[in-house]
Amino acid sequence: MSGAANWMGWTLPTALFFIAIALILTIMGVLQKLAPRNEPRVGLLGIATQRGDRLFLSLLGSAFIHLAWIGLAPASLPLWFATLASAVYAALVFRFV
Protein backbone atom coordinates (compact mmCIF):
# COMPACT_ATOMS: atom_id res chain seq x y z
CA MET A 1 0.00 0.00 0.00
CA SER A 2 1.14 3.49 -0.59
CA GLY A 3 0.05 7.00 0.09
CA ALA A 4 -2.84 8.00 2.30
CA ALA A 5 -4.32 4.50 2.68
CA ASN A 6 -1.19 3.28 4.45
CA TRP A 7 -2.01 4.96 7.78
CA MET A 8 -5.57 3.64 7.85
CA GLY A 9 -4.68 0.03 8.60
CA TRP A 10 -6.72 -1.54 5.80
CA THR A 11 -6.39 -5.16 6.71
CA LEU A 12 -8.76 -8.04 6.04
CA PRO A 13 -10.41 -7.77 9.49
CA THR A 14 -10.92 -4.02 8.95
CA ALA A 15 -12.49 -4.61 5.55
CA LEU A 16 -14.72 -7.37 6.95
CA PHE A 17 -15.82 -5.05 9.74
CA PHE A 18 -16.97 -2.35 7.33
CA ILE A 19 -18.59 -4.90 5.02
CA ALA A 20 -20.49 -6.35 8.00
CA ILE A 21 -21.73 -2.90 9.07
CA ALA A 22 -22.85 -2.16 5.49
CA LEU A 23 -24.67 -5.51 5.31
CA ILE A 24 -26.36 -4.94 8.67
CA LEU A 25 -27.59 -1.51 7.60
CA THR A 26 -28.80 -2.92 4.28
CA ILE A 27 -30.67 -5.73 6.03
CA MET A 28 -32.26 -3.22 8.42
CA GLY A 29 -33.37 -1.11 5.43
CA VAL A 30 -34.87 -4.12 3.66
CA LEU A 31 -36.60 -5.15 6.89
CA GLN A 32 -38.09 -1.67 7.17
CA LYS A 33 -39.45 -1.96 3.62
CA LEU A 34 -40.86 -5.46 4.16
CA ALA A 35 -42.23 -4.88 7.67
CA PRO A 36 -42.74 -1.14 8.11
CA ARG A 37 -44.73 -1.56 11.32
CA ASN A 38 -42.01 -1.20 13.89
CA GLU A 39 -43.93 -0.96 17.13
CA PRO A 40 -41.89 -0.20 20.24
CA ARG A 41 -41.71 -2.97 22.79
CA VAL A 42 -40.66 -2.98 26.41
CA GLY A 43 -38.06 -5.58 27.32
CA LEU A 44 -35.62 -6.24 30.15
CA LEU A 45 -34.44 -2.63 30.30
CA GLY A 46 -37.95 -1.42 31.03
CA ILE A 47 -37.86 1.12 28.19
CA ALA A 48 -39.59 1.01 24.83
CA THR A 49 -37.16 0.11 22.04
CA GLN A 50 -37.50 -0.33 18.31
CA ARG A 51 -35.29 -2.25 15.87
CA GLY A 52 -32.92 0.68 15.38
CA ASP A 53 -32.51 1.13 19.13
CA ARG A 54 -31.69 -2.54 19.56
CA LEU A 55 -29.21 -2.37 16.67
CA PHE A 56 -27.50 0.62 18.30
CA LEU A 57 -27.32 -1.17 21.65
CA SER A 58 -25.92 -4.25 19.91
CA LEU A 59 -23.22 -2.29 18.08
CA LEU A 60 -22.28 -0.32 21.18
CA GLY A 61 -22.09 -3.44 23.32
CA SER A 62 -20.08 -5.24 20.66
CA ALA A 63 -17.55 -2.42 20.64
CA PHE A 64 -17.15 -2.74 24.42
CA ILE A 65 -16.86 -6.53 24.16
CA HIS A 66 -14.06 -6.18 21.62
CA LEU A 67 -12.26 -3.50 23.65
CA ALA A 68 -12.46 -5.64 26.77
CA TRP A 69 -11.22 -8.65 24.81
CA ILE A 70 -8.24 -6.73 23.48
CA GLY A 71 -7.40 -5.39 26.93
CA LEU A 72 -8.09 -8.41 29.12
CA ALA A 73 -7.82 -11.62 27.11
CA PRO A 74 -4.49 -13.37 26.63
CA ALA A 75 -2.83 -12.61 23.30
CA SER A 76 -3.06 -16.30 22.38
CA LEU A 77 -6.86 -16.09 22.09
CA PRO A 78 -7.96 -14.80 18.67
CA LEU A 79 -10.21 -11.78 18.32
CA TRP A 80 -12.74 -13.93 16.45
CA PHE A 81 -13.92 -15.24 19.82
CA ALA A 82 -14.93 -11.69 20.75
CA THR A 83 -16.81 -11.45 17.46
CA LEU A 84 -18.69 -14.66 18.28
CA ALA A 85 -19.46 -13.32 21.77
CA SER A 86 -20.71 -10.10 20.15
CA ALA A 87 -23.01 -12.05 17.83
CA VAL A 88 -24.48 -13.91 20.80
CA TYR A 89 -24.87 -10.60 22.67
CA ALA A 90 -26.62 -9.03 19.67
CA ALA A 91 -29.02 -11.98 19.39
CA LEU A 92 -29.86 -11.63 23.08
CA VAL A 93 -30.40 -7.88 22.75
CA PHE A 94 -32.73 -8.32 19.78
CA ARG A 95 -34.65 -11.03 21.61
CA PHE A 96 -34.97 -9.64 25.13
CA VAL A 97 -34.47 -5.86 25.03
Residue 61 CB partners (closer than 8 Å, separation 6+): 86, 89, 90, 93
Q: For the chain, what are the domain ranges?
A: 1-37, 41-97
Percent of the chain topping pLDDT 70: 91
What number of other Cβ atoms are within 10 A of residue 76's Cβ?
Answer: 5
Over residues 57-89, the pLDDT tens digits come to 999 999 999 999 999 999 899 988 999 999 999
Predicted confidence (pLDDT) at residue 20 exceeds the cutoff of 80? yes
* Closest by Cα among 58, 50, 63, 65 to 24: 58
